[in-house]
Amino acid sequence: MHSTSDNILSAVRIEKGFPGTKALDKVDFQLRRGEVHALLGENGAGKSTLIKCLTGAYRRDGGSILLDGTEIDPRDTFDAQRLGIGTVYQEVNLLPNLTVAENLFLGRQPRRFGMIDAREMNRMARELLAEYELDLDVTRDLAGYSVAIQQVVAIARAVDLSGKVLILDEPTASLDAHEVAMLFRIVRRLKARGLGIIFITHFLEQVYEISDRTTVLRNGQLVGTRETTDLDRRDLITMMIGRELADEIHTNHPSAGDGQLRYRFRNYGRRGHIDPFDLDVRAGEVVGIAGLLGSGRTETAEVLFGANRADSGTAEIDGRAVDLSSPRAAIRQKFGFCPEDRKTAGIVGDLSVRENIVLALQARRGWTRPISRTEQNRLADHYIRALDIRTADREKPIKLLSGGNQQKAILARWLATEPEFLILDEPTRGIDVGAHAEIVRLIESLREKGLSLIVISSEIEELVAYSTRVVVLRDRAHVAELDGERITAHNIVEAIAAANEGGAS
């Protein structure tokens, strides 16, 4: 075995409690020089909490941390950065109101005569991003760029900060295959330079592709650390969820719905957001939407739901023209929408899990007809159980839940309204394997109940699994549609690529 001196970072018996939760229970963790170490576990297992304790974002309750054999005690993330630990935290944690360059060099801007040398900083920023094949206007505010680009910027920043250790908490959640490949190239290069890299993800393929060792947490406790190559997929899942997963996503996609045609959108669109498109959705049908990052998938969803009012075209339900100009109007037509950006558009952070779940239902009923507390409790408990939302109790503020569990609570919010047309934008992003399978099953059971669903996902395998039809987007326009037997991962990729070659729109 390796001697301890090989460990660049080791954490011993780390403890961390939150009111009502023991998030970390005497967790040990070792990171070697020059290894990629996957940190796995279900939603709420304590992965992010462990990271935050290591980097001083949280004060740990107990345990010690050694960097290069000497004990360290980072008081805040600034300390950790100085020690050579660069981190990408879960959810993009950059400042939207600063420029790209400022985000990259915050706190270490180059200076001349005590003043920031903006020209030099921008030059350095362009140089740094060039490694990531990004050619951005670095003097623009970060808010102007898509989530994916922001994620890459966050990674670039962390990598640049990491002299010894790089920590990546679900960095690939909003990246597509191309960008993931690029990230992995960089990770391998850093690894070769002798850095220790901690990598958190819910994509098991990526674990096998990049990691040398794997540590699994469950309910705040260490389950074990293994060499990744010694670990087969089934064992890994069992380690994570503590039981065998009945069946992973099956690949035989459902037959095209033969339900009646219910929703007809003609020439529907909004200038500057999404080009006018036609779309028909049947009862009992799942329409998957595929496309590269920034292709306009989210915009399509927002226009359908009235979050952005359509400025052209018509919408019909069962042959009757309807008004979908606002979320309320859409909800009146029994629409539901789980947005992609759950932090800003999904959760209402300070409200409890219960209140978050009943929110849409209550809004639809109007304020004069309050849902009784008993009924609220019943609904909340029902969905907490049905979707396996991990929370100490239903009164916990939702912002204190782990990311994946927040996602499930938002889903519950819409299910509680008993929708007939449900739009899910990246419903499985950041969700663990167990829950992932559950959500896929849920989508299927909803379809079987006769709902119409629109599902946006960057995971093509997943789309293939549950879609009865797949729409492919590019440059904010609908460019192709696949159905029946033609829905295969290969065909979707082809369609995106073909469209790509199709030239300017």
Partner 1 sequence: MKQKYLPLTATILIFVLSYALCVMQFPNMLSTRVIGNLLTDNAFLGIAAVGMTFVILSGGIDLSVGAVIAFTGVFLAVVLEQGGLHPLVAFALALAITTAFGALMGAIIHYLEMPAFIVTLAGMFLARGMAFVLSIDSIPIKHPFYATLKGFYYKLPGGGRITLIGGLMLLVFGVGILIAHRTRFGTNVYALGGGAATAKLMGVPVARTTIGIYALSGLLAGLAGIVFSLYTSAGYSLAAVGVELDAITAVVIGGTLLTGGSGFVAGTLVGILIQGLIQTYITFDGTLSSWWTKILIGLLLFAFILLQKGIIRLSRVERQHA
Partner 2 sequence: MTATVKTYFGRLLPQLIALAVIVVAISMVFPGFLNLQIQNGRLYGSLIDILNRGAPVVLLAIGMTVVIATKGIDLSVGAVMAICGAVAAALITSGHSLAETLLATLAVGILCGVWNGILVAILDIQPIIATLVLMVAGRGIAQLITEGAILTFNHPGLIFIGSGSFAGLPMPIVIWLVFGVLIALLVRQTALGMLIEAIGINRQASTLAGVLTPVLLIAAYVLSGLCAAFAGIIAAADIRGADANNAGLWLELDAILAVVVGGTSLLGGRFSIAASVLGAIIIQAINTGILLSGFPPEFNLIIKAAIIVFILVLQSPRFRTAFTFVRLPRAAGKPTEREAK
Ligand X SMILES: Nc1ncnc2c1ncn2[C@@H]1O[C@H](COP(=O)(O)OP(=O)(O)OP(=O)(O)O)[C@@H](O)[C@H]1O
* Eight-state DSSP code of residue 346: I
Nearer to ligand X, 201 or 468 (CB): 201
In the complex, minimum distance from the CB of residue 48 to Mg ion, in angstroms, rounded to a whole number: 3
Question: Binding ligand X by CB under 6 A: which of 402, 417, 452, 467?
Answer: 402
Site for ligand X in 237-296 (CB under 6 A): 291, 293-296
Q: Enumerate residues 91-110 that contact partner 1 by CB under 8 A.
A: 93-98, 102-103, 106-107, 109
d(CA 177, CA 349): 31
Q: Does residue 87 touch Mg ion according to CB under 5 A?
A: no
> Whose structure tokens read 């904010």?
476
Contact 456, 481 (CB under 8 A): no
Using CB under 6 A as the binding rule, the residues of this chain from 54 to 113 that contact ligand X are: 90
Q: Which is nearer to partner 1, 141 or 381 (CB)?
A: 141
How does DSSP classify residue 345?
Answer: I
Query: Minimum distance between the CB of residue 140 and partner 2, rounded to whole angstroms?
Result: 18
Measured N-to-C along each axis, helices 403-415 and 373-386 cross at an angle, to the nearest 10 degrees, of 120
Told to check if 328 binds partner 2 by CB under 8 A, we report yes
Q: Please give the Cα distance from 298 to 423 (Å, whole number).
A: 10
371 binds, among ligand X, partner 1, Mg ion, none (CB under 5 to 8 A by kind): none
Q: CA 400, 401, 402, 405: dihedral to nearest 10 degrees?
A: -160
Residue 295's binding partner, choosing from partner 2, Mg ion, ligand X, none, with beta-carbon cut-off 5 to 8 A by kind? ligand X
By the rule CB under 5 A, 90 interacts with Mg ion = yes
Q: Which does 347 bind (CB under 5 to 8 A by kind): Mg ion, partner 2, ligand X, none?
A: partner 2
18 binds, among partner 1, ligand X, Mg ion, none (CB under 5 to 8 A by kind): ligand X
Site string for partner 2, 1-40 (x = CB under 8 A): ----------------xxx---------------------
Among 66, 118, 182, 261, binds partner 1 (CB under 8 A): 118
**Per-residue DSSP letter, 342:** I
Taking residue 376's Cβ as centre, other Cβ atoms within 10 Å add up to 20
- Residues 269 and 313: their CA atoms lie apart, in Å, by 7
Q: Please name the residues in contact with 281: beta carbons below 8 A apart, sequence gap of 6 or more.
A: 261, 262, 263, 287, 421, 452, 454
Q: CA-to-CA distance for 198 and 93, rounded, in angstroms?
A: 17
Q: Does 23 bind ligand X (CB under 6 A)?
A: yes
- Stretches 135-143, 282-290, 297-305, 406-414: which one binds partner 1 (CB under 8 A)? 135-143
The CA distance from 385 to 109, in Å, is 49
Q: Are 189 and 177 in contact (CB under 8 A)?
A: no
Binding mask 119-158 for ligand X (x = CB under 6 A): ------------------------xx-xxx----------
Contact letters for partner 2, residues 292-311 (x by CB under 8 A): -------------x-x----
Q: Token digits for 352?
A: 């409890």
Contact 394, 378 (CB under 8 A): no
Distances, alpha carbon 135 to alpha carbons 7, 29, 123, 158, in Å: 37, 38, 12, 19
Choose the binding region for partner 2 from 100-108, 176-184, 193-201, 366-374 (rule: CB under 8 A).
Answer: 366-374
C-alpha span between 451 and 467 (Å, rounded): 13
What 3-state DSSP class applies to 192? Answer: helix
Q: What is the CA radius of gyration of the chain?
A: 23
Site string for Mg ion, 39-78 (x = CB under 5 A): ---------x------------------------------
Touching Mg ion, residues 335-364 (CB under 5 A) = 340
CA distances for 444 relative to 94, 249, 332, 380, 449, angstroms: 36, 11, 24, 22, 9
Neighbouring residues of 59: CB distance < 8 A, sequence distance ≥ 6:
53
Give residues 48-87 in contact with partner 1 (rule: CB under 8 A): 57, 76-78, 80-81, 87
Q: In the complex, which residues of this chain contact ligand X (CB under 6 A)? A: 18, 21, 23, 41, 43-49, 90, 143-144, 146-148, 291, 293-299, 340, 390, 400-404, 432, 458
Q: In the complex, which residues of this chain contact partner 2 (CB under 8 A)? A: 17-19, 52, 57-59, 61, 96, 305, 307, 327-328, 331, 337, 339, 344-351, 355, 359-360, 362-371, 399-400, 413
Q: In the complex, which residues of this chain contact partner 1 (CB under 8 A)? A: 57, 76-78, 80-81, 87, 89, 93-98, 102-103, 106-107, 109, 111, 114-116, 118, 139-141, 144, 271-272
